[in-house]
Structure 1
Amino acid sequence: MANSKAGTSINNTLGGEYQVFLNFRGPDTRRGFTSCLYHALVDAGICVFVDDEELRPGEKISSNLLQAIDNSKLYIPIFSTNYASSHWCLRELAKMVENTSKSKEDGNKKVILPVFYDVKPDDVQLKTLLYCDAILNLEQKMANQKMKLSSKDVETWRQALREVDGTKGWELEKYPG
């Protein structure tokens, strides 16, 4: 799906800024909603970052990925049923929230536009068990795999979810197909 001409691959060597960074749980939405959104944005001439499938579980977030988040102006997290079971999704979201907070201070405004795909804002706000349980299961899974995860990381993820839910987003179930 990565297209270096459009500036969308992790391996982008063009050094240009992205206009949009898509954050999503691949198995939930990659081949459906996210793919359609990505192509619609690219067809409209928008430079979109979407991860290619080079990142593997257990690898560190590459400096290219962090740079793509830093260089993007608009973030679109696509919250889906299994989103909170991915430490990658949560780490990216925390970085996006951090960047939007910093951008308010330095005048280089960045915006998060959340999409709620088969979830409700209350799930993301951690008011239901869906994301709460997913994060607890993720903590346990990572501990079982002896992957380093601090309670500070987990609290940062929870705070990022709460903050982004305070932003008006799109609940796809309100827009019948």
Structure 2
Amino acid sequence: MASMNNQEASSSSATSDFIPYSWTYDVFLSFRGEDTRFGFTGHLHSALLRKGINTFIDNDLTRGEDIAHSLLKVIEESRISVIVFSENYASSKWCSDELLHIHHCNESKQQMVRPIFYKVDPADIRYQKGSYGEALAKHERRFPDNLEKVRRWRRALTRSANLSGWHYKEHDYEFTFIDNIVEEISLQLLNETYLDVAEYPIGSGGASPVLTGLEPSLKSPGRDRQDEAIAVGNCG
């Protein structure tokens, strides 16, 4: 009996330590509206939705000087943040604050972050050259009493440019580029879903025989895992 109580206490402790994040959205799109809203980002958003990926785009939010609290909450509730870096992204204080919060969520909630470099050189973002250098210089003149925040924006840009992402260049086929992004995000979400399954389900002494039995079929080369849903029930 004492041994059983110890096991129950251990199981209860392990359970209380595991608190999974509750995601409202699969993807949050961060972008400069005047650059890409009615072009690239709009097309990307539509393609993600057609794939069944729940994607947030801020078409209905009122823009102001400071980033809205409601938008910060959306970022926190999104599994992946996709940042569309375009020519004028850094000129927006709103976008710069979005970027800071995205990286905060990456550190605090293990949120995934993927950059898209749309007709811009990643090196310009990494080292703040070209339009990005000009934008940050204007921010420094505009906010002389808050230069530390501008430095944080610079660090966030450098960090973003060092992440694995996608680089769109002039004369590429945009629809093919978007299709590749959507397929990769779909696979990434699928893999993250598998990782959310506990290795040792509560109440069992080892790996679940149901999941163990399904594992070969899930990994079968002939299975199209992107478009097929599998339901698993755990009885006990």
TM-score by length of 2: 0.60
Any gaps of 5 or more consecutive residues in structure 2?
A: 1-21, 174-236
2: CA distance, partners of 1:23 / 1:63 = 15
Distance 1:127 1:88, change over 3 A: closer
Contact 2:28 2:55 in 1 (8 A): yes
Q: 1:72-102, CA deviations, whole angstroms, 9 ceiling, x for partnerless residues?
A: 1101100000111001111101111111112
Deviation at 1:47, TM superposition (A): 1.2
Q: Is the CA contact 2:84–2:117 (under 8 Å) kept in the aligned structure 1? A: yes
In structure 2, the CA distance between the partners of 1:38 and 1:127, relative to structure 1 (3 Å rule), is same
- Does residue 93 (structure 1) correspond to residue 89 (structure 2)? The answer is no
Moved more, 46-55 or 152-161: 46-55
**Map of 2:56 onto structure 1:** 49
Contact in 2 for aligned 1:121/1:165 (Cα 8 Å):
yes
Given candidates 140, 164, 170, the residue that maps to 2:166 is 170
1:158 aligns to 2:139 (yes or no): no
1:7 is aligned to none
* Per-residue deviation, 1:153: 1.3
Q: Are 2:26 and 1:30 equivalent residues in the alignment?
A: no
The CA deviation string for residues 42-80 of structure 1, in whole angstroms up to 9 with x for no partner, is: 11111111112532232x322211110001110110000
| Aligned counterpart, 2:111 | 110
Which structure has more relative contact order (CA 8 Å, sep 6+)? It is: 1
Q: Amino acid of the residue matched to residue 147 of structure 2?
A: S
Point out where structure 1 has 5 or more consecutive residues left out of the alignment. Answer: 1-14, 104-108
CA spacing shift, 1:149–1:118, aligned 2, 3 Å: farther
Per the alignment, in what secondary structure is the counterpart of residue 137 of structure 1?
helix
**Cα deviation, residue 175, structure 1:** 7.4
| Residue identity matched to 1:152 | E
Gap change, CA 1:175 and 1:99, over 3 Å in 2: farther
Distance 2:140 2:112 in 1: 29
CA distance in 2, matches of 1:174, 1:29: 15
Query: How far did residue 16 of structure 1 move?
Result: 6.6
Equivalent position of 2:131 in the other structure = 130
C-alpha distance after superposition, 1:114-164 (max 9, x if no partner)? 000110110110252321111112343x45xxxx96112111111111111
Q: Distance in 2 between matches of 1:36 and 1:114?
A: 16
Percent identity, please: 35
1:83 aligns with 2:89: yes
| RMSD, matched Cα | 2.1
The answer on whether the counterparts of 1:86 and 1:138 sit within 8 Å (CA) in structure 2 is no
Q: 1:21 touches 1:74 (CA, 8 Å); kept in 2?
A: yes
SS at match of 1:89: helix
Q: What amino acid maps onto 2:129 in structure 1?
A: T
* Residue aligning to 1:106: none
Aligned pairs, how many?
152
